[in-house]
Amino acid sequence: MSILVMKFGGTSVATLDRIRRAAKRVGREVANGHEVIVIVSAMSGETNKLVGFVEETSPLYDAREYDAVVSAGENVTAGLMALTLQEMDVPARSWQGWQVPLKTTSAHAAARIEEIPTDNILRKFDEGMKVAVVAGFQGISPEGRITTLGRGGSDTTAVAFAAAFGAERCDIYTDVDGVYTTDPRITSKARKLDRIAFEEMLELASLGAKVLQTRSVELAMRYNVKLRVLSSFEEMSDEAGTLVCAEEDIVESNVVAGVAFSRDEAKMTLQGVEDRPGIAAAIFGPLAEAGVNVDMIVQNISEGGTTDMTFSCPINEVKRAEKAMGDAKAAGLIDFAGLVADTDVCKVSIVGIGMRSHAGVAAKMFQTLRDEGINIKVITTSEIKVSVLVDRKYLELAVQALHDAFGLERAA
Ligand code: ADP
Ligand code: ASP
Ligand code: MG
């Protein structure tokens, strides 16, 4: 018997009818002789609604209660999927994260998976159950509280189960038929990739391409999980979708594999901070403790012993960042003249393994943006990516221009 993991995202379980369609796919794999672990997301829109309730009730919420609330959406779909399968005479049972138990760290709202014991579910398979339906996105902390894995976390649940059970494959069913050169919602020229390297997918995901959660790609890479992204709305075929695989398994690829973006960025500038050894630690330590995910950092030229420190973070963490900096100042840890938040920016990035061996890619990106009259506010680079912060109103224009400039609508 071989085990398959099939994950259905929010749009794929958005209605009872779609749950039935997804269940039919699962039924076909069971008929093919597989035992299946199905990971489900909440119905689309459900998690956003729950997050909204939390933020309205308590703007600087206790993350333990946030998790208690936002994990609930997946419980509903797990039970409904099991019931739907039972109605189709497929022996199925649902599990919430704590019942598995999917053990995580206690970093609420961004917990990491530590262990997935397989005995419970394997025993049920031995007893004749064919499908284990598991609520994605959630687990249990060492303290015994419900945790969640961060937005998009059901992808990570799926890959972690595939690794723990040595599954033959991990299929991520979503509302697009694979990974594209950029979000197909931004440009119709976006092209579906048959294959993409783990490293490239990892960068694209962490830079905003939400088709896979970053952590799921990390896990797939580490445990060599055969990871496929495909549409739950199209007919099944072995060649469908995009395979996320090792670099060696890709024959030809463009220098730039894709363009990613993150709409909800903020640029924060601490003005007039003292320029002394330890100042970066004094600023970014408290930000990290407050759970602010700082991405880009720029320290400006210092004048008269003080400097400006600029960093970017997700827009919904601005309040936390302001509070952390205010508290640090009140406690005498840092001093600054002002804190300015620019919440009208976005981040646009190009990603490609080919950049390791090609010079001039960053320059071409900057020229392309210049030709469109787009001002760059902050730049960061790594071996296989270049990211810029620009005004949000230029997001679509920047993505389209870069997609054209690097010829992404054509295969290499
Ligand atoms: P699910 O609910 O199934 O997890 P998500 O909304 O999390 O689905 O992810 C799928 C979405 O990711 C697509 O609808 C698409 O708009 C977006 N997306 C962003 N970048 C890409 C990309 N490079 N390729 C494909 N989809 C992308
Ligand atoms: N429902 C959660 C979210 O919307 C987890 C997921 O769908 O992957 O983020
Ligand atoms: Mg998702």
Q: What is the pLDDT of residue 237?
A: 63
Instruction: For residues 77 and 55, give the distance between their C-alpha atoms in angstroms, rounded to a whole number.
Output: 23
Q: What is the pLDDT of residue 59?
A: 87
Angle at 57 between CA 55 and CA 58, to 5 degrees: 65
Residues 127 and 16 in one domain: yes
**CB of residue 14 inside a 6 A radius of ligand 2:** no
Q: What is the pTM of this model?
A: 0.93
Q: What is the pLDDT of residue 412?
A: 78
Last residue in a domain, options 175, 204, 224:
175
Which of the ligands is closest to the CA of residue 154?
Answer: 2
For residue 132, pLDDT beyond 70:
yes
Shortest-distance Cα residue to atom 9 of ligand 1? 211
In a domain, 191, yes or no: no
Q: Which atom of ligand 1 is nearest to the CA of 179?
A: 24
Torsion, Cα of 356, 385, 340, 318 (10° steps) = -130
Q: Which atom of ligand 2 is nearest to the CA of 150?
A: 9
Residues 47 and 167 in one domain: yes
Shortest-distance Cα residue to atom 5 of ligand 2? 152
Residues 155 and 296 in one domain: no
The residue segments making up the domain with residue 42 are 3-175
Question: For 166-198, what is each residue's pLDDT tens digit?
Answer: 999 999 999 999 999 999 999 999 999 999 999
Instruction: For residues 33 and 274, give the distance between their C-alpha atoms in angstroms, rounded to a whole number.
Output: 66
Q: How does the average pLDDT of the chain come out, rounded?
A: 95
Residues 275 and 129 in one domain: no
Compute the average pLDDT of residues 403-411.
Answer: 95
In a domain, 251, yes or no: no
Percent of the chain exceeding pLDDT 70 equals 99
Compute the average pLDDT of residues 69-93.
Answer: 98
Which of the ligands is closest to the CA of residue 135?
Answer: 2
In a domain, 220, yes or no: no
Q: What is the pLDDT of residue 179?
A: 98
Instruction: For residues 177 and 194, give the distance between their C-alpha atoms in angstroms, rounded to a whole number.
Output: 10
Q: Which atom of ligand 2 is nearest to the CA of 154?
A: 8
Domain total of the chain: 2
Q: How far is ligand 3, taken at its centre, from the CA of residue 193, in Å? A: 18
**CB of residue 206 inside a 6 A radius of ligand 2:** no
Question: For 213-265, what is each residue's pLDDT tens digit?
Answer: 999 999 999 999 999 999 988 776 656 899 999 999 988 788 999 999 999 99
For residue 11, pLDDT beyond 70:
yes
Stronger pLDDT, 39 or 300, i.e. the higher one = 39
Q: What is the pLDDT of residue 298?
A: 92
Contact status, residue 126 vs residue 86, Cβ threshold 8 Å: no
Q: What is the pLDDT of residue 300?
A: 84
**Domain containing 126 — which CATH number?**
3.40.1160.10
Other C-beta atoms closer than 10 Å to the C-beta of 339 total 17
DSSP string, 11-63: GGGSSHHHHHHHHHHHHHHHHTTEEEEEEE-PPTTHHHHHHHHHHHH-TT--H
Q: What is the pLDDT of residue 238?
A: 59
**CB of residue 137 inside a 6 A radius of ligand 2:** yes
Backbone phi and psi for residue 285, each to the nearest 5 degrees, phi listed first: -60, -60
**CB of residue 139 inside a 6 A radius of ligand 2:** no
If we measure between CA atoms, which residue out of 153, 250, 161 comes closest to residue 205?
153
For residue 29, pLDDT beyond 80:
yes
In a domain, 237, yes or no: no
Q: How far is ligand 2, taken at its centre, from the CA of residue 266, in Å? A: 23
Residues 161 and 29 in one domain: yes
In a domain, 217, yes or no: no
Q: What is the pLDDT of residue 101?
A: 98
In a domain, 347, yes or no: yes
Shortest-distance Cα residue to atom 9 of ligand 2? 151
In a domain, 188, yes or no: no
Q: What is the pLDDT of residue 239?
A: 64
In a domain, 215, yes or no: no
Percent of the chain exceeding pLDDT 90 equals 92
**CB of residue 11 inside a 6 A radius of ligand 1:** yes
Last residue in a domain, options 150, 175, 200:
175
**CB of residue 10 inside a 6 A radius of ligand 2:** yes
For residue 270, pLDDT beyond 90:
yes
Compute the average pLDDT of residues 53-70.
Answer: 95
Q: What is the pLDDT of residue 313?
A: 96
Q: What is the pLDDT of residue 329?
A: 96
Last residue in a domain, options 115, 147, 175:
175
Residues 157 and 13 in one domain: yes
Residues 151 and 29 in one domain: yes
Question: For 287-306, what is each residue's pLDDT tens digit?
Answer: 999 989 999 999 988 778 89
**How big is the chain, counted in residues?**
412
Instruction: For residues 237 and 228, give the distance between their C-alpha atoms in angstroms, rounded to a whole number.
Output: 12
**CB of residue 212 inside a 6 A radius of ligand 1:** no
**Domain containing 384 — which CATH number?**
3.30.2130.10
Shortest-distance Cα residue to atom 21 of ligand 1? 183
**CB of residue 183 inside a 6 A radius of ligand 1:** yes
